[in-house]
Amino acid sequence: MIVKLKNEISLQQKEVLSSFLQEQGINFEYREIYGQSIFLLFSTLLESQIAYFTSLPFVEELAETPKEYLLASGGWKKAPTMFNVAGQLIGGNEINIIAGPCSVESEEQIFKVAEYLHGMGVKFIRGGAYKPRTSPYRFQGLGKEGLQLIRKAADAYGLRVVTEVIDSSLIAEVSEYADILQVGSRNMQNYYFLKQLGKIDKPVLLKRGMYSKISEWLMAAEYILSSGNEKVILCERGIRTFDTTVRNTMDVAAIPLIKELSHLPVFADPSHGTGRRDLVTPMALASVAAGADGIMVEIHPDPDKALSDGMQSLYLEQFKDLVNKANAVATAVGRSLDCDNSSKKTNAKPSENVVSV
């Protein structure tokens, strides 16, 4: 149960409620979510306790939680959630583009990608530094060196960094370099981890679990929201099905469904959603048409030599074609891309910006 308080509640009134809850032995936590003061109650209330709450003039309502998720639901917050990431709006009418390699492999590679994105007017660069691989013998990422390289490349070309954090022990380190922390499919149901991400002041891009229902995905977001972090982005990245023709089955229907059920922005990752380079652009366009607030795409200067996910990474010229077509689709549905090529390139060279590690 959630006790929603009126906006004009005083500190003294909050203390009155806290004291009552403690005296009654009711387990609770105080939170402020989307400007709304609430008490989360983890105990079943007696009728007398419910009567006490409803009698207080500064209590707006007692919200039952028949759904497993409440704070992520459209019933809790009617207006779409929007927030800024280093000056770029997430969740607005403009569709964000995130692009970059699966893994940061070298200084030369990540600077080449960053320069290209800057020239395209793209505002967000992605790249993994810590890579959770199915096989322990595959490339696991450069670790902290990778974080430093992508941050330096992003700063040189005015980009924002999106990178994955794979464990609670790495949250502080990744937060130092990233603008958006990505939670991969494998970690969507790591609930303790999600609660820790709810305690930081960084946006979290939450990818759908490869076997997860829509409701389970929203419940995972609820863990982050209920722990205090309001900046959550949902990302559809395909689910495992019986079909082995593609790496995953891209669930485009999830995008408008999330828009119906939740106020959270929803992105699409057609690279992981299909695992096939030839399908990335068609599914990106379908996602834009379906209402996605952002597209995350893997690109590489030489995909055939990529250390991870080369088969689903676009060549740079293919990415340019995707952006041009996505812009046309966005215009057709009354939106636009947060992407322009009017900005001037910097004179930065990789050798001038690499950090010693």
Backbone angles phi, psi at 265, to 5 degrees: -65, 145
**Predicted local confidence at residue 65, as pLDDT:** 61
323 within domain boundaries: yes
Render pLDDT for 325-346 as a digit per residue (tens, 0 to 9): 999 999 999 999 998 753 334 4
Q: Can you list the residues of the chain whose pLDDT is less than 70?
A: 65-67, 341-357
Burial tier of 138 (Cβ tally within 10 Å: 0-12, 13-18, 19+): exposed
Closest by alpha carbon to 113, among 154, 170, 72?
Answer: 154
pLDDT number for residue 202:
96
Q: CA 236, CA 287: separation in Å to the nearest integer?
A: 9
Q: Pairing between strand 160-164 and 180-183?
A: parallel
What values do phi and psi take at 241, rounded to 5? -130, -175
Q: In total, how many domains does the chain have? A: 2
Cross-strand partners of 98: 124, 296
Same domain, 276 and 318: yes
- 320-346 b/e with 16+ CB inside 10 Å = b? bebbeebbebbeeeebebbbeeeeeee
Residues 222, 106 within the same domain: yes
Q: Do 249 and 168 fall within a single domain?
A: yes
Q: Is the dihedral of CA 320, 326, 332, 336 positive or negative?
A: negative
Question: Is 77 a domain residue?
Answer: no
Q: Which amino acid is at 147?
A: L
CATH of the domain at 12: 3.30.70.1140
Q: Are 46 and 158 contained in the same domain?
A: no
Are 57 and 130 contained in the same domain? no
Which pLDDT score, from 0 to 100, does residue 350 have? 42
Which CATH number does the domain housing residue 102 bear? 3.20.20.70
Are 147 and 31 part of one and the same domain?
no
Amino acid (one-letter) located at 121: G
Range of the domain at 53: 2-63
* Domain identity same for 90 and 49: no
Residue 239: inside a domain: yes
Residues 258 and 118 in one domain: yes
Token code pair at residue 266: 């929803």
Q: Residue 347's pLDDT is what?
A: 40
**235 and 108 in a common domain:** yes
* pLDDT at residue 141, as a whole number: 82
pTM of the model: 0.85
